[in-house]
A and B are shown apart, each in its own frame.
Chain A
């Protein structure tokens, strides 16, 4: 059971949040209204996606006070618990990309297939590009093509042809590149990686317990963040970590676990 603890918790959180949103539109629930771009919590607290708000801001629009407040609340929240927790605990696309990654492992695709080169920093280029385009075109550029909002909005308000985008992402992750969408392309994830850079909740690695089975690296969607495995005991500090706990679930030796970041305990660069 331990092997699935965080996975089950994540699926529960992802599905529960989706159901709350759907319930708001379909049956008028007042717990979580709107969608992932902007919502109303308990009919009172405004929430807004900071990346979407920045895109709107650079178009030169005069922003409503509610979305500014909403974006600040969300930024603060993920600034504390780890920005990319959004990606693994809330984002609905994650269930699709996880399925693709799981299938890839089962079918041993990554072993036979020579990966074509993609840079992890691609997503930051796309992030920058989206802001430039938003400013030039006078409309939030990524919001018009975002498969994340498309999928999420589709689930709440009706899909249209939006299902196509999901199929494309699934096939891309399955056939073209391991974790291709979340790990390399999605600028929304990139924005949360930046927000979560200094967050308090961190995965900690205990090198003394590690037997170097590398199961954690196999299962981690952002392998680079686990560079310390079996080398030194330290916390995962890169903002790209999604705080998904896949590595914790999979580690038989208990070498990995969630911890609160403490600057004091962190060994200074052990290279």
Chain B
């Protein structure tokens, strides 16, 4: 009876079932863990990095970018760093990105997680040139409460540290009404130029930096594209395409029978 074929079959089915059961259990624990460690919204990536979700798919964690960086800016996440393990990141307050013009960290990346085209500008279609100013590692954000320049104390540390001085950060002058004879020198960051290198954060004189780099996805809002800038001819052109593409429905009321101008000019009983 012990080794009858039906018993063998039962044992076989049982072992398959056990395999599946154990796998399901393993999958649950494993996926919970993976889900936990892959979400790190605050992490800053090297120049040229793909969007975070794509970056984390691509990066093979080889550290070649880390080895290529001459300033030791980039680090590979270790266990305990609470970041997706083995992926490169940097902490600007410790070591910022010095925006090397030859961007050594990008071309070495074998996986495509750091994309060379995203940090190249094109003279013509075939002639690409590395251009670190196109990097968008993050965006510098100012906490105006702790920035001492907004108190009226003269500080332009971030402005002077910025590799794109006068472009990514500009200084706005205004009269200090409290003293009556001094000026405020207020730094402003321009999101379309700032690369997120963090030189400003590194240079900031306050105890905890009053200007700091956040991942763009976190630092920026989004207005939605149904707002059209009437004062921008290019933006207003969008109206034409909208008119063409979207079937219109016009509301007809008694008022709308006449043209809008007429109704404005119609002073009625006045």
Contacts and interface: CB of A to CB of B under 8 A. Distances in A.
Nearest to A43: B108
A128 B67 CA distance: 33
B231 interface: no
B22 A153 contact: no
Interface in B64-123: 64, 66-67, 75-76, 78-81, 84-86, 108-113
B27 interface: yes
Given A157-B78, A160-B81, A161-B79, A56 B111 contact: yes
B85 A139 contact: no
A132 B20 CA distance: 13
B53 interface: yes
A153 B75 CA distance: 11
B57 A59 contact: yes
A40 B86 contact: no
A157 B89 CA distance: 13
Contact of A149 (B86, B109, B111): B86
A32 to B, nearest CB: 11
Contact of B54 (A61, A67, A128, A141): A61
Interface string A146-161: 0001100110111111
Contacts of B111: 38, 56, 61, 63-64, 66-67
A25 B110 contact: no
A144 B85 contact: yes
Interface residues of A, number: 53
B79 A64 contact: no
Interface stretch (B3-11, B29-37, B255-263): B29-37
A154 B75 CA distance: 12
A208 B159 CA distance: 83
Interface stretch (A45-53, A176-184, A216-224, A243-251): A45-53
Nearest to B88: A157
Contacts of A153: 61, 63, 76, 78, 86
Contact of A145 (B33, B56, B62): B33
Contacts of B166: none
A113 interface: no
Given A61-B57, A139-B56, A153-B86, A125 B22 contact: yes
A190 B54 CA distance: 28
A138 interface: yes
A67 B110 contact: yes
Most chain B C-beta atoms within 10 Å of own C-beta, residue among A150, A158, A160, A164: A160
B190 interface: no
A60 B54 CA distance: 9
Contacts of A161: 78-80
A35 B37 contact: no
A137 B61 contact: no
A248 B117 CA distance: 53
B150 interface: no
Contacts of A15: none
A59 B86 CA distance: 17
A33 B31 contact: no
Given A56-B111, A64-B58, A144 B37 contact: yes
A133 B78 contact: no
A29 to B, nearest CB: 10
B252 to A, nearest CB: 50
A16 interface: no
A70 interface: yes
B72 to A, nearest CB: 10
Contacts of A46: 110
Contacts of A37: 60-62, 86
A66 B61 CA distance: 14
B60 A38 contact: yes
B184 to A, nearest CB: 44
Given A34-B63, A139-B57, A157 B33 contact: no
A141 B35 CA distance: 10
7 contacts: A35-B63, A46-B110, A64-B109, A66-B110, A139-B56, A160-B80, A164-B79
Interface of A: 24-25, 28, 33-35, 37-40, 46, 48-49, 52-53, 56, 59-64, 66-67, 70, 125-126, 128-129, 132-133, 136-141, 143-145, 149-150, 153-154, 156-162, 164-165
